[in-house]
Amino acid sequence: MATHSNHEVHAHGHGHAHAHAVGHTHGSPERRLWAALILTLAFMAIEGVTGWVIHSLALISDAGHMLADAAALALAVVAQRVANRPRTTFRTYGFRRAETLAALANGVALGVTGLWVVVEAVARWQEPPAIATRPMFLVALAGLFANLAAGWLLSRGHSHNTNIRAALAHVALDAVGSAAALTAALLMWAFAWYRADVVASLLISVLILWGGFRLVTETVSVLMESAPSGVVLEELERTIRGTPGVADIHDLHAWTISDGFDIVTVHVVLDGSAHGTDVARDVGERVRVAHRVNHVTVQPEAPPLPPAIHPVHRLVRRSKE
């Protein structure tokens, strides 16, 4: 597409194919999210009730983690549907960033849950209550298997977008939490060391806070339009400058709309050895191959005119004469 002396060329031959492929796989991730949500809710109720009855903070904190996970999974289901909506004249990129916003909310929820567990564990350290270890062990074991089953459901298939990875992170941390509760139950049964329940709770809180921190930093990076992960701007600039026909570049930008949808835009100044559309096509292809970015917009610009023949300089020369 040409406009006057400038050309704007979109290297989208592969990018469009990729975008359509993602759209066709949204049904499968949604079913997996629903299955994981139902499983998480069921064992959250079991762990919460059992932990409350036997006074196990480890089980209660793990149930609280599962509650955050259930909310996260429910939010992910909604975001999955919203992200699949077609673009509009107002939202020209569609609703893809709904996934990123859901992941951000999940990270914040994890952080709040982790802080609550820390406060409760510190309060219980001085006088840890006696805990019935057998039901704690059985419930923690069942919770571990439930988390592993949910993780297996989510990891099936080939479409692992931001929502799926965020949900997997929640479930993985839940599995570690259940394992910590399981270990605490064994220690209390063998040595009557009831502070093991508090220690397990603190371990779970650390995992929760770390998972929340990672999700928040990753999603904020996307929302702040940072360079995509794996794309080094200096290397990207070298790739473009090394394209035959490119004399100079400016306004180089690289950012992420949503998972799997990275974008590069650049203005290239031509050296006059090749047509602008050919140079733009070559730049887009080189970026796609070298940096795996399919959505590339290149605007070629004509090389600057020599001062002697530039219209402005002609006017100045005539005025002096």
* Full set of structural domains in the chain with CATH: 23-223 (1.20.1510.10), 228-311 (3.30.70.1350)
User: Mean pLDDT over residues 160-170, rounded?
Assistant: 67
Residue 114 has pLDDT above 50, yes or no: yes
Nearest to 92 by CA among 257, 219, 226, 224: 257
Q: Looking at per-residue confidence, does 264 or 27 come out higher? A: 264
Residue 101 has pLDDT above 80, yes or no: yes
**For residue 17, what pLDDT band results from cuts at 50, 70 and 90?**
very low
Nearest to 57 by CA among 202, 209, 224: 202
Residue 3 has pLDDT above 50, yes or no: no
User: Mean pLDDT over residues 282-298, rounded?
Assistant: 94
Maximum CA extent, the chain: 104
The whole-number pLDDT of residue 4 equals 40
The whole-number pLDDT of residue 306 equals 65
User: Mean pLDDT over residues 77-85, rounded?
Assistant: 70
Residue 235 has pLDDT above 90, yes or no: yes
Q: Are 148 and 174 in contact (CB under 8 A)?
A: no
C-alpha 305/C-alpha 300 separation (Å) is 15
Residue 18 has pLDDT above 70, yes or no: no
Q: Could you tell me the CA-to-CA distances from 168 to 55, 106, 150, 164 in Å, in that order?
A: 29, 12, 8, 6
User: Mean pLDDT over residues 203-219, rounded?
Assistant: 83
Contacts of 24 (CB under 8 A, 6+ apart): none
Mind listing the pLDDT tens digit for each residue in 120-159? Answer: 888 888 888 888 888 889 888 888 888 888 888 777 765 5
Q: Looking at per-residue confidence, does 235 or 65 come out higher? A: 235
C-alpha 154/C-alpha 148 separation (Å) is 10
The whole-number pLDDT of residue 286 equals 96
**For residue 208, what pLDDT band results from cuts at 50, 70 and 90?**
confident
The whole-number pLDDT of residue 131 equals 85
